[in-house]
Structure 1
Amino acid sequence: MSVKGSIAPIEYTQFNHHVEWDALANLQVAEPEWQYSASIFQAFLPPESVLVGECWQIEKDGVLELLRQLNPKPNLDININNGDSLGLWACLRAYNDEFADIVFRIHAEFVIEGGRFTPSQFAGHLVIDRIKEEIIFFQMYVPNGTLNFDAYWDTVGSELGYCPQMELCTGTLPDHVEFTTSITQEEAERALILCFYNSVQISWVSLEAALELAPAQQKPIHVVLLDGPLFDESC
């Protein structure tokens, strides 16, 4: 099975290191296209039967092999880790007699010359033909965002930035599939993020809303000031 890989030039960094640091300035995909055995995608399958909405851990070796198509030195034991950053998780989003639809989330980094490059996350989508036992569609990518990666230059320090595309992809999504059982993409993504961050379980509200709710519920106000996102690794 042929998988295409893409890394677009970095468009922005906070301290302009994508211009001054050669490893960022010249960041590019290791292999634009690579042939894999279909067995590599078994890493994303559950070890036992699961229900829609249930999550399971992804097998590391298969993921590392795929990530090497983007960069030869992937690392799943990322340096930015406050105790809830590590992991590779998948969730069964939908299925019927013919197809299974799986979404996943992976946290990884790449060792590059002079430092390391940590995407916010690798989001992913896998569709399997259950009858033919074939991969119909596979995509693993870094989502867009104002900032979607963190980097560390050994001689200078930390950096934040935006890369418009970092992706592995093969196949085509089937059209007009009616699933027997399903949850929404948003529900699947929330199930996955709960596998990583305890902070997601908190009902965050704006300061204005808190000032209204606190007297009514007779609860104190806890104010948290953030300079980056809570729900990915881009800070």
Structure 2
Amino acid sequence: MKNFNSKITLNLDSDAEVSVKGFIAPIEYTQRDYHVDWDELANLKAAEPEKQYPASVFQAFLPSEPVSVGECWQIEEEAALTLLRQLSPCPQLELEIGGADSYGLWACLRAYNDAFAEIMFRIHAEFVLEKGWFAPSQFAGYMVIDRLEKKVVSFKMYVPDATLNFDVRWRIFGDERRAADIGFCPQMELCAGAKDVLQDAKFAEAITEEEALHTLMLCFYKSAQINWVSLEKALELAPALQKPIHAISSGGPLADESC
């Protein structure tokens, strides 16, 4: 990825407000049918379908110092928790399911011009339920800022689509024993503002969405620093590079928490 030297400051008008809508669609699948047998999963829905927030909540997603494209910074915890409570009353960042090594709230400047700036972010969090825990694979997202008006013009925080995109633990046998399951929820998101604001935008400096996502992933997982290749490719490269093959078989994804 190209290195950028120019740095910009990102600020919001402190008097502005942002209206955010929250959505949780019915869970479509769990491996052990917990979404059928467990009432909390069967009836999971957004705690508040719509809510107004002060700009300070979104300012906490922005860096405190000037940054360049591709640079990452940590999001303030309380701001992320404030937004997540719109989906479920008891979010937490210290994961019961994922473990301490999965902790993190990171953002990255993806692109900017004189009028707009876009940041992308990734948050690991889970919801404490009455009888267990619900852990999405991740909360991905982006925020587009009008640099002239200093306002949020587009925002989305969501659980990415995947074959399986959440884990649960159900205290079905009491506090001492927890049953585990994994499943798919087609929509869990918070959104605000207009869509496709940057559809025809030309940027002064930018990286691709894929590069930004990879940069964020590196903030969470050391395994992402490895240049993984298929077994077929490894068999081709090993004799040419005169290196041994280290083969790893994984039963789940290495790049999110739905495993």
Question: Shared fold (TM-score greater than 0.5)?
Answer: yes
Offset at residue 216 of structure 1 (A): 2.2
Partner of 1:133: 150
State the SS of the aligned residue for 1:150.
strand
TM-score using structure 2 length? 0.88
CA RMSD of aligned residues (A): 1.2
The answer to whether the aligner puts 1:14 opposite 2:31 as a matched pair is yes
* One of 249, 255, 259 as aligned partner of 1:225: 249
Partner of 2:133: 116
Question: 5 Å matches for 1:1-235?
Answer: 1-81=18-98, 83-155=100-172, 156-172=178-194, 173-174=196-197, 175-235=199-259
Q: How many residues align?
A: 235
Q: Identity of counterpart residues, as a percentage?
A: 63
Distance 2:164 2:189 in 1: 16
State the SS of the aligned residue for 1:36.
strand
Judged with a 3 Å threshold, the aligned counterparts in structure 2 of structure 1 residues 160 and 204 are, in CA distance, closer, same or farther, namely same
**Deviates further, 36-45 or 68-77:** 36-45
State the SS of the aligned residue for 2:101.
coil
Distance 1:37 1:204 in 2: 43
Offset at residue 211 of structure 1 (A): 2.0
Distance 1:82 1:41 in 2: 27
Residue type matched to 2:144 in 1?
V
Distance 1:30 1:231 in 2: 28
Residue type matched to 2:219 in 1?
C
Deviations 1:160-199 (A, max 9, x none): 1000000000101424211111111011111100000000
Distance 1:92 1:111 in 2: 31
Distance 1:106 1:23 in 2: 23
Give structure 2 stretches of 5+ with no counterpart: 1-17, 173-177
